[in-house]
Amino acid sequence: MSYDSEPPTSPPPPTPPRRSGPRTLVVAVAVLVPTALAGWLVWQVMSGPGDSAPTAMPLPDKSRSATATAVKPAPTPTPTPTPSGSKDDKPRRAGPLTGKVVVIDPGHNPGNFRHTEEINKTVDVGTHRKECDTTGTSTNDGYTEAAFTLDVSRRLRTLLEEQGATVTLVQNDDRPYGPCVDERARIGNEAKADAVVSVHADGSAVGNRGFHVILPAVVKAGAADTAKIVAPSRELGTRIAGKFVQATGMAPSNYVGDGTALDVRKDLGGLNLTTVPKVFIECGNMRDPKDAALLSSGGWRQKAAQGISDGIGSYLKG
């Protein structure tokens, strides 16, 4: 993941003194002010709570600010918006996914490009060592993958919470970079998530179009042991792929997965180190102009979130 005051005017030329002037002015003000205040009090008694305040009468400078304070209605407090990634005390909505825990992993981080030294450090992913994280790709117009994944993930979170699920975002543009791929996996594991989805967009060649879902391979090396989650992860990925087509109308990838929209990999730390069902989804190819036009559309991103949500819901409801 933005008083004007009146300019001073030149004093008027002196006016010859008049005996009756000051006495007449004092009397006039003495009569005018009580009359105005009395009228205001009558208005306050007669008007209801929905009435608007009357236009303030011009008064001598000394009483202007006090009078304005007295008649000005108290401002309605503006609620402070809850940060997108923070917890709040509102009761969770009951629904078909009540009791289910979903972790959404928005790929990359908008701040990664400012922290290349940190994200280039390697971490152990079981089979080998891999970069902590990467900057991700972007469209030719400069719309970044990190911005895309956050937007889709936030929309997805809303859809799932409306069905009663407890949802956690791995990152919400609330940290300077990362987290590293091993920590991303650990967040889902520690949450004992029923499903984890990592949201991405691809950066392939022009002409390569469509989406695909990446599934974990059977891996047992070092801290990686995916034997127990390979089958449920495939079921999760298959459900998401089917619902994604229905919601977005996007065809499966024409360059990965042989038309199945499914791809199995053993080189991704986020999948190697997971102990709960988890998949990645590459929602399209940001480097192809036709796919990029879709990914850059807010309306299409809502459809993408809906498709992923429908797939997760179908998997969790059995």
Active site residues: 282
Question: Identity (one letter) of the amino acid at 75?
Answer: P
Determine the Cα–Cα distance for residues 262 and 270; give it in Å rounded to an integer. 17
Q: CB atoms < 10 A from the CB of 134, how many?
A: 18
The DSSP output letter for 81 is: P
To which residue do tokens 């991704």 refer?
268
Q: 174: Cβ–Cβ under 8 A, 6 or more apart, which residues?
A: 1, 83, 85
Determine the Cα–Cα distance for residues 318 and 311; give it in Å rounded to an integer. 11
Q: 104: Cβ–Cβ under 8 A, 6 or more apart, which residues?
A: 153, 156, 157, 167, 168, 169, 170, 196, 197, 199
Rounded to 5 degrees, what angle do the CA atoms 255, 259, 262 make?
90
Closest alpha carbon to 146 in 202, 203, 107: 107
- Chain-centroid distance of CA 53 in Å reads 39
Closest alpha carbon to 196 in 115, 311, 296: 311
- Segment holding 118, helix H or strand E: helix 116-120
